[in-house]
């Protein structure tokens, strides 16, 4: 097969870094950008992230073999609706959203007859920075990308999106969207909520005063993710609501149990939890 | 006043780093070490952390002008009991424990007539490493040390301990032990419990499988403190039980409220919390 022409909708950190990685790998014939803000697209051309752009989504995708939708979860539905009439019959569409069941529902509704050519995807990568100027070609090196094809998804489309992410340096795995959403609710969405909640909770301690002045390095690490983009995280929570709520309930049970151990002065029970957690964390995170 | 002779009980990261910093500042006449394990003390001499040692606490403190007790919270009581008969009348005793009300109770009980010469202290510093070989003389540079004198504490003793920590490079502040314990419960003890709890909770998701394989950088940062020493953290929780429980209850209220917003699909309420938290975190941690 000849080199594909790729259209990237949303040239921020995620879409822009993919473009740079694919160019570096000499994977594609051309990269066309699309997005809401022309200034961003101009900058993306200047930075060599994309070759050209269209502000009209339908036109941007017209010649594309692969369309990557890298926009916030709350905008997926509108983008699918805007591109569907412009897609070539053979075009494959994929996305980079942090929740998968909601994107699949959006795609089933808005991509209509093109739904079998849609490969839901999620690169587990990112930094605290955002925007096209934060994009860099190494972002996906040795990072995982999870694809969550449905029963209807074309296996050939999955193969091609797998090849694309591998060209960008990533390791690709497939799983069900439901499993993805539960795993990510635990390892990413819940931790973000806990960090936002901790900072807000301490900030509400008006009687305690300037509590953050006495925070040490551990606190800084623990709350780093509370500096993440509020709108993006609102969208993620709402899009993955059921799984996030399930994780929040499990976590509350865990902390309630810890509270009761502490209340009872049961140091042995606390030490057991801490030892288990330390071992797991040391094993997995090194 | 001539240079003080200092006895440091517990020559780990905290005690050892203080010894190195005070030597660097040429603050003291001599540093005598004491502790439970002779091998550690020998190593501390070899590394130039202390000048000499005694394995018998009572003898170790006999010539000291300042005694620094840098042992785990669960051992404070026993150390105070072991040193009290050996102290010079003029000797000042201080500690480096992470909770202050419990240490003050231990000292009031065991230091008896010497209690007025006891200055409760807590350097807000540390690393994930521990032990004498992890000690380094820069640990306290520009870090905060909180002193929590009681109504009975001699102002001259507070002055001398302030001068000692300043010589080690730290900024010293005084506050009540109650206030200290509440602030630290929020900025340090609660975050540690939340991190231990998150890792343990995810590890218990047997139905979810290898959940940690899909954790990204944010998770790594968030859970770093779950690699901390389980025994030390058991002691801290038990020693600061009331304040930690109060913080856990406040945090549960915060998370319950977030849960209800999510359940109601109230994206605006979630975004408001996230925005508030991001602003506070960016302002304080930069």
Q: What is the pLDDT of residues B28-56, one digit of tens each?
A: 999 999 998 999 999 999 999 999 999 99
Query: Which pLDDT score, from 0 to 100, does residue A210 have?
Result: 72
Q: What is the pLDDT of residues A107-139, one digit of tens each?
A: 999 998 999 999 999 999 876 678 899 999 999
Q: Does B27 touch chain A (CB under 8 A)?
A: no
Q: Is the pLDDT of residue B7 over 90?
A: yes
- The CATH code of domain A5-175 reads 3.40.50.720
Residue-range domain boundaries for chain A: 5-175, 179-285
Nearest chain B Cα to A257, which residue?
B197
The pTM assigned to this predicted structure is 0.89
Q: What is the pLDDT of residues B56-96, one digit of tens each?
A: 999 999 999 999 999 999 999 999 999 999 999 999 999 99
Backbone φ and ψ of A151, nearest 5°: -60, -25
Q: How far is the alpha carbon of A17 from chain B, nearest alpha carbon, in Å? A: 17
Closest in B191, B230, B276 to A203, CB measured:
B276
Contact B156, B91 (CB under 8 A): no
Contact A147, A162 (CB under 8 A): yes
DSSP E strands: which ranges in chain A?
5-9, 30-34, 52-54, 66-69, 92-95, 118-119, 121-123, 144-147, 171-174
Contact A96, A176 (CB under 8 A): no
**Between chains, do A219 and B191 touch, taking CB under 8 Å as contact?**
yes
**Between chains, do A277 and B197 touch, taking CB under 8 Å as contact?**
yes
**Between chains, do A187 and B231 touch, taking CB under 8 Å as contact?**
no
User: Minimal CA–CA distance to B125: which of B96, B95, B167?
Assistant: B96
Q: Is the pLDDT of residue B112 over 80?
A: yes
Query: At A5, is the secondary structure helix, strand, or coil?
Result: strand
Q: Give chain B positions within 8 Å (CB) of A218.
A: 188, 191-192, 224-225, 228
Q: Does domain A179-285 have CATH number 1.10.3660.10?
A: yes
Burial class (CB in 10 A: 0-12, 13-18, 19+), B178: middle
Q: Is the pLDDT of residue A149 over 80?
A: yes
| DSSP string of B149-213, one letter each residue | --TTS-HHHHHHHHHHHHHTT-EEEE--HHHHHHHHIIIIIHHHHHHHHHHHHHHT-TTT-SGGG
Interface test with B, best of A144, A176, A179, A202 (most B CBs within 10 A): A202
Q: Give chain A positions within 8 Å (CB) of B276.
A: 200, 203
Contact B7, B22 (CB under 8 A): no
Interface test with B, best of A172, A191, A232, A275 (most B CBs within 10 A): A191
Mean pLDDT over A172-185 rounds to 95
Q: Is the pLDDT of residue B263 over 90?
A: yes
Q: Does A220 touch chain B (CB under 8 A)?
A: yes
Query: Which pLDDT score, from 0 to 100, does residue A61 have?
Result: 98
B213 — pLDDT class (breaks 50, 70, 90): confident
Backbone φ and ψ of B49, nearest 5°: -75, -45
Encoded tokens for A118: 């849609």
Map tokens 């926009």 to a residue. A71
């Amino acid at each position: 097969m000849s080199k594909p022409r790729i259209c990237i909708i949303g040239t921020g950190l995620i879409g822009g870094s993919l473009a740079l990685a694919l160019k570096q790998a000499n994977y594609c014939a051309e990269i066309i950008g699309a997005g809401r803000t022309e200034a961003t697209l101009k900058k993306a051309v200047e930075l060599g992230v994309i070759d050209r752009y269209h502000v009209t989504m339908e036109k941007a995708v017209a010649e594309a073999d692969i369309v990557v939708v890298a926009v916030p979860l709350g905008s997926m539905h509108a983008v699918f609706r805007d591109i569907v009439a412009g897609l070539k019959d053979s075009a494959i569409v994929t996305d980079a959203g942090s929740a998968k069941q909601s994107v699949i529902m959006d795609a089933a509704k808005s991509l209509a007859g093109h739904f079998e050519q849609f490969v839901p995807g999620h690169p587990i990568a990112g930094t605290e920075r955002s925007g096209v100027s934060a994009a860099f070609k190494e972002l996906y090196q040795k990072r995982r990308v999870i694809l969550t094809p449905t029963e209807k998804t074309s296996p050939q489309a999955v193969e091609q999106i797998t090849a694309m992410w591998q060209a960008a340096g990533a390791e690709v795995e497939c799983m069900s969207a439901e499993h993805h959403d539960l795993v990510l609710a635990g390892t990413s969405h819940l931790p973000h909520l806990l960090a936002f909640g901790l900072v807000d909770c301490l900030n509400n301690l008006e009687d305690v005063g300037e509590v953050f002045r006495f925070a040490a390095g551990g606190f800084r690490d623990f709350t780093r993710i509370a500096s993440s983009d509020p709108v993006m995280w609102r969208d993620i929570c709402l899009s993955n609501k059921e799984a996030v709520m399930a994780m929040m309930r499990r976590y509350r049970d865990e902390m309630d149990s810890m509270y009761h151990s502490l209340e009872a002065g049961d140091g042995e029970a606390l030490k057991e939890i801490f030892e288990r957690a330390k071992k797991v964390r040391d094993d997995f995170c090194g």
